[in-house]
Amino acid sequence: METVGIKTPLGIATIKGNENGIAVIAIADEGVVSEEIPLVLHEAVTQLQEYFDGKRTHFDFQLNPVGTEFQQKVWKGLCEIPFGKTISYLELAKQLGDVKAIRAVASANGKNPLWIVVPCHRVIGADGSLTGYAGGLWRKKWLLEHENPSTQQSLFE
């Protein structure tokens, strides 16, 4: 499996994958920024950079995350949340067909190995609160604001 580290506005993203697709995209405050990008990771790096530059709202490189059948189902459901939109854990559980599975859905959401690309940051509490996020709530807030910047102008500008 090839690995690359890239600088993002939110820290160092580590991307791991091979010819079968990208298996992991993780974020950390510190890490090693790679000087060279392996060919199999080039498209993922390019698309993430375009996302941060505000030029991309959808990712289309091959994914290959490792998880249980249920986790895969939840991650697929996350990918159906439109860019700039949010849903609650309860809504996601309902969409997946089992409102009683809300805790399992939340757990699978928290184990998402593909930061940003599988948009677990778009899931919020039923009351609209920013609930748990493995990358830190400040990153979740940043991502949601990046995807849906306020269109309201200040009266004093």
For 60-109, write each residue's pLDDT tens digit: 999 999 999 999 999 999 999 999 999 999 999 999 999 899 999 999 99
Closest to 106 in 3D by CA, of 133, 137, 136, 76: 133
**pTM score:** 0.91
Which residues does the annotation mark as catalytic? Answer: 120
Q: What is the structure's pLDDT at 16? A: 98
Q: If you classify domain 69-147 with CATH, what class do you get? A: mainly alpha
Terminal-to-terminal C-alpha distance of the chain: 51
Percentage of the chain beyond pLDDT 70 is: 95
Q: Please state at what angle helix 102-110 crosses helix 69-79, rounded to 10 degrees.
A: 80
39 close to 18: Cβ distance less than 8 angstroms? no
- d(C-alpha 84, C-alpha 65), whole Å: 23
